[in-house]
Amino acid sequence: MFRQWKLLSSHCLKFSQTKKFCSASSSYKETKIRVLEHDINYIETLGSLEDAHPIFFIPGAFGSIEMDFTPIMHQFNKEKYKWIAWDPPGYGKSRPPTRSFIPEGYECVYEQDVKYAATLMNILGYKRYTLLSWSAGAITSILMANRQAENISGIIMWGYKFFEPKTIPLIQAMKRVGLDTMIHESRRTQLTKMYGEELFLKMWDGATDEMIKMACSQIYQKGGSFQKFIRNVQCPALVIHGLKDSVVDVSDAKHMNSALKNSRLHLMENGTHNLHLRETKEFVKCIENFIDNHVLNQTQ
| Number of C-beta neighbours around residue 37 at 10 A | 8
Contact 102, 209 (CB under 8 A): yes
Continuous segment of H or E residues that includes residue 226:
helix 226-231
Cα separation, 271 vs 290, in Å, equals 18
pLDDT at 64: 97
Q: What is the value of pTM for the model shown?
A: 0.89
| Residue 297, pLDDT score | 83
Chunked into runs of 10 residues, the chain (300 residues) has average pLDDT values of 38 44 65 97 88 95 95 92 97 95 92 98 97 97 97 98 90 77 81 93 92 93 94 98 96 97 97 96 97 84
**Beta-carbon neighbour count of residue 119 at 10 Å?**
20
Q: Which residues are catalytic?
A: 135, 245, 273
Length of the chain: 300
CB atoms within 10 A of CB 161: 19
- The amino acid present at 85, given as its one-letter code, is A
Residues 211/213/214/216 CA torsion (nearest 10 deg): 120
- pLDDT the model gives residue 181: 62
CA–CA distance, 73 with 24 (Å, rounded to integer): 12
How far is residue 22 from each of residues 47, 68, 259, measured CA to CA in Å?
11, 18, 41
Nearest CA to 136 out of 74, 77, 233, 215 is that of 215
What is residue 182's predicted lDDT score, i.e. its pLDDT?
62
Rounded Cα distance, 243 and 235, in Å: 26
What integer pLDDT is reported at residue 60 of this predicted model?
A: 94
How many whole angstroms from its chain centre is CA 90? Answer: 14
